[in-house]
Each structure stands twice: as C-alpha cells, then as structure tokens.
Amino acid sequence: MRVLGIDPGLTRCGMGVVEGQVGRPLHLVDVNVIRTSADLPVAERLVTIEKGIDAWLDEYAPDAVAVERVFARSDVSTVMGTAQASGIAMVAAARRGLPVALHTPSEVKAAVSGSGRAGKAQVGAMVTRILRLDAPPRPADAADALALAITHIWRGGAQARIDAAVAAAGAARRTTPPTAPRTTPPARPARAEGPTRSSR
C-alpha cells in the first residue's frame, strides 16, 4: 500500500509518500514541502499548492491520500489558510478517484509515538525510527506528512481490509440463491394405534 500524506498549509505544505503494510517494515518513497510566498495573493498560492500536489499524485500514484484534519486554533488566519490548502488536497485526490482519509493531529501523534500529546520533536524522532532514516525530515511539516502516511497505513489500511471483508461477506449473501419453497406440506408422523377391541 502506498500512501501520500499531506500536512496542509499555505506557506509550507508537507508532502510525504510511504509504502508498506501493517505488520511489515515501512519504506520512505519521498518527502518534501511545497512552499508559497506570503507576498502573493491567496488564490495564486493555492494554485501553486494544487499544481504541486497534482505533480506528486502523477509521479507517485498513491493508493490513498491522508490529510491532517483541520482543528480550531486561536489564530483564525492560520486556520483559514490550512483549511483552504486541505480542501485543495482533497479535491486533487478525489479528481483521480483516490480515497481520502482525514486524521487528527492527536490521532497521528498517538499512532507514531504512543501519546496523543507528543511534541513535534518526538514525532520527528519516531518517524525517523519507523522509516529507518539517518536524520529527522526537515522542516517539521515534512515529518508530519510522513507521520500522516504512516498512521493511515497502520490504522486506515487495517480498517480498509475489515471493510472489504464485510463487503465481500455481504455480496456473498446477496448472490446465494434462496432455498426453494416447499410445494407439499411435510408428512405427519403416523400415530401409534392402540390395541384393537375384540368384537362381541
């Protein structure tokens, strides 16, 4: 399974591709960030992000895309930019018919480090260990993108197999021909007869 993890952001949009499956070592395919200048209009920055994501999707052909779920912060402008970049990522994936999963930051932290309150340094260290890298990916947005991809393989991949098994079982039930109805009532068991009376 190959997953593209996307840590959305207007200034830096983290991109990371990881390949593997549950119970086996995971492998880094590529990691980087898409950068845009704060001096440009937001619309132009979103176009740059869209083109960058499209290029990654075309080059690496992932099986699924994992995007960080946007959550409320005190800085409204940061939330808005993150949400806009997130929407671009989801549209780019949906346009290609790829499944898109949203994972919360705490879910990702818990998956890779065992604690939903882990800091960025701890997440980066665990990503480095899981993927057997020489050094933590920089900047942190890149490490977060890889953590998203890892989380989806470990959690989303397992869930996908469960869903597939349930769907296959349902399809098997629908294709099994129904039992033919009985046309004649079942024969009643014969009653035991009592002793005959002698005629008088």
Binding residues: 7, 68, 141
Task: Give the tokens for residue 131.
Answer: 């993927």
* Torsion region of 162: left, alpha or beta (phi above 0 gives left; psi -120 to 50 gives alpha): alpha
44 catalytic residue (yes or no):
no
| Residue positions forming the annotated binding site for Mg(2+) | 7, 68, 141
Note if 141 is an active site residue: yes
Indicate which residue of 68, 134, 144, 163 is catalytic: 68
The one catalytic residue in 58, 141, 163, 193 is 141
Q: Is 19 a catalytic site residue?
A: no
Residues 6+ apart with CB under 8 A from 62: 2, 3, 4, 17, 98
Separation of alpha carbons 10 and 165, rounded Å = 39
Q: Where are the alpha helices (DSSP H) in the chain?
A: 42-60, 76-95, 105-113, 120-130, 140-151, 157-175
Measured CA to CA, the distance from residue 4 to residue 16 in angstroms comes to: 6
Q: Which residues are catalytic?
A: 7, 68, 141
